[in-house]
Structure 1
Amino acid sequence: MAGRDVTVVWAVTSANHHTTRRNPVPYSRRESAIERFSVQEGLRSLVVGIHDVPPTDDFAEVTVKACREALGLPLTPADTQVACSTASVSALYRGLGYTVLPVEDEPRPEGAPAPELPWEVLTRLAGGDDGWRVPAHPASVDVLTRYRLDEHVRTVLNDPVVGDDGGLTPSRDYHSYAESFEVASDRKWAQVAPYVRPGRILDIGCATGALLERIDADPRFHESDLIGVEVARHLMAECEHKVAQGRFRNPNVFFHQRNMLGDTVFPPRSIDTSISIALTHEIWSYTRPVGARRDQLQRFVDRIAAHTAPGGVWVNADVCGPGEPERPVLLELDDSDGTNPPPRPDLDRWPREQVAEHVAGLSTRARLAQFAVDFERLAGVRVEHQQVGDAVRLRLADAMDYLTRKDYADNWLSECHEQFCGLSWADWQDVVRAAGMTLDAASRPWRNDWVVEHRIAPVAGLRGLDGAELEWPDTHVLLVARPGVTS
Structure 2
Amino acid sequence: MRRFVLFPGRHHLLTRFQGAYLRGLAKGENLGVSTSSAPPPPAARQSPGEDPTGPATIVWAVTSANHQNTKRNPVAYDRREAAIERFSVQEDLRSLVVPVFDTAPTDRFAEVTLKSVESVLGHHLTPQDTVVACSTPEVAALYEALGFTIALVEADPAAAATPERPWDVLLRLAGGDPGWREQAHPATLDVYDRYRLEEQISLVVNDPVVGDEGGLTATRDYRTYAEAFEASAARKWDLVKRHVRPGRIVDVGCGAGAVLGLADREPALRESDLIGVEVARHLYEECVHRKAQGWFANPNVYFYCRNVLGGAVFPPRSIDTTLTFALTHEIWSYGHRMDSLRAFAQAIYDHTVPGGVWINSDVCGPDNRERRVRLSLQGAPAPAGPIDSLDRAAIAAHVESLSTRARLDRFAADFHFPVPYKDLDDPADPGAVEIALSDAMEFLTHKDYPDNWLSEAHEQFCGLEFADWKALLADIGFEVDPASHSWRNDWIVEHRISPYAQLSTLDGRELAWPDTHVLLVARRPLNT
TM bucket (normalised to shorter chain) is over 0.9
Q: Which of 302, 305, 310 is residue 354 of structure 2 equivalent to?
A: 310
Aligned residues of 2:354 and 2:526 also touching (Cα < 8 A): no
The answer for the alignment partner of 2:86 in structure 1 is: 36
Unaligned 5+ runs, structure 2: 1-23, 28-53
Whole-angstrom distance in 1 between the partners of 2:374 and 2:110: 57
Aligned-pair CA distance for 1:328: 2.0
Give aligned-pair identity as a percent.
60
1:387 corresponds to: 423
Q: Secondary structure at the match of 1:382?
A: coil
2:515 counterpart residue number:
474
Establish whether residue 352 from structure 1 lines up as the match of residue 388 from structure 2. Answer: no
Q: Report the secondary structure of 1:62's partner residue.
A: helix
Q: Give the aligned residue type for 1:313.
A: V
Give 5+ residue unaligned stretches, structure 1.
none
1:123-153 C-alpha deviation (Å, 9 max, x unpaired): 1111111111011111111111111000100
Instruction: Please tell me whether residue 159 in structure 1 is matched to residue 207 in structure 2.
Output: yes
Structure with higher Rg: it is: 2
Contact 2:117 2:124 in 1 (8 A): no
- Give, in whole Å, the separation in 1 of the partners of 2:121 and 2:339: 51
Partner of 2:478: 437
CA distance in 2, matches of 1:211, 1:302: 24
Describe how 1:203-218 pairs up with structure 2 within 5 A: 203-218=251-266
SS in 2 for 1:418: coil
Pick aligned residue for 1:454 from 495, 501, 521: 495
* Shift in Å, 1:246: 1.0
Give, in angstroms, the shift of residue 107 of structure 1. Answer: 2.2
Structure 2: distance between partners of 1:99 and 1:373: 52
How far residue 105 of structure 1 moved from its aligned partner, in angstroms, is 1.9
Would you say the 8 A contact 2:355–2:526 is kept in 1? no
Alpha-carbon distance between aligned partners in 2 of 1:367 and 1:128, rounded to the nearest angstrom: 46
Q: Report the equivalent of 1:400.
A: 441
Deviations 1:36-64 (A, max 9, x none): 11111111111111111111121111111
Tell me by how many angstroms 1:23 deviates. Answer: 0.6
Residue 365 (1) aligns with residue 395 (2): no
- Establish whether residue 54 from structure 1 lines up as the match of residue 104 from structure 2: yes
Per-residue deviation, 1:177: 1.0
Give yes or no for the alignment of 1:143 onto 2:187: no
Question: Secondary structure at 1:170's aligned position in 2?
Answer: coil
Distance in 1, matches of 2:203 and 2:524, equals 27
8 Å contact kept, 2:114–2:124: no
* Residues 416-448 of structure 1, C-alpha deviations (whole Å, 9 max, x = no match): 111111111111112111211010000011111
- Mapped to 2, the partners of 1:165 and 1:333 lie a distance apart of 39
* CA apart distance, 1:115: 2.3
Aligned to 2:128: 78
1:13 maps to a residue whose letter is: T
Structure-2 separation of matches of 1:485 and 1:413: 44
Q: Secondary structure at the match of 1:272?
A: strand
Partner amino acid for 1:350?
A: L
Select the residue among 13, 20, 24 that pairs with 2:74: 24
Q: Are 1:325 and 2:369 an aligned pair?
A: yes
Superposed displacement of residue 114, structure 1: 3.4
For the Cα contact (< 8 Å) 1:438–1:485, is it kept in 2? no
Separation of aligned partners in 2, 1:120 and 1:323? 50
Q: In 2, distance between residues paired with 1:431 and 1:297?
A: 9
CA drift of 1:354 comes to: 1.1
1:413 maps to 454
SS of equivalent to 1:134: helix
Counterpart of 1:246 in structure 2 is 294
Match of residue 8 from structure 2: none
Q: Is the Cα–Cα contact under 8 Å of residues 436 and 485 in structure 1 kept in the other structure?
A: no
The amino acid of 2:325's aligned partner reads I
Contact kept, 8 Å, 1:84 with 1:100, in 2: the verdict is yes
Alpha-carbon contact 2:69-2:305 (below 8 Å) kept? yes
Counterpart in 1 of 2:344?
Answer: 300
What is the Cα deviation at residue 108 of structure 1? 5.8
Letter in 2 for 1:357: A
Q: How far apart are residue 82 of structure 1 and its match?
A: 1.3
Task: Provide the secondary structure at the position in 1 that maps to 2:119.
Answer: helix
Give the AA of the match of 2:285: A
**Matches of 2:134 and 2:503 in 1, distance apart?**
61
Name the amino acid aligned to 1:395. Answer: A
Question: Using the alignment, how far apart are the partners of 2:526 and 2:266 within structure 1?
Answer: 31
Any idea what SS the aligned residue of 1:190 has?
Answer: helix
Map of 1:209-288 to 2, 5 A cutoff? 209-287=257-335
Residues paired across the two proteins, number: 472
What root-mean-square deviation, in Å, do the aligned CA atoms of Structure 1 and Structure 2 show?
A: 1.6
TM-superposed CA distance for 1:480, in Å, is 0.1
Determine if contact 2:260/2:276 at 8 Å carries over to the other structure.
yes
Q: What is the rounded CA distance, in whole Å, between the counterparts of 2:497 and 2:164 in structure 1?
A: 56
- Counterpart-to-counterpart distance in 1, 2:434 and 2:365: 18
TM superposition score normalised by structure 2: 0.87
Q: Give the residue type in structure 1 aligned to 2:340.
A: Q
Contact map agreement 2:382 2:409 (CA 8 A) in 1: no
Query: How many Å separate the matches in 2 of 1:233 and 1:327?
Result: 40
Cα distance in 2 for partners of 1:368, 1:404 equals 11
| CA 1:113–1:372: 2 relative to 1, 3 Å | farther
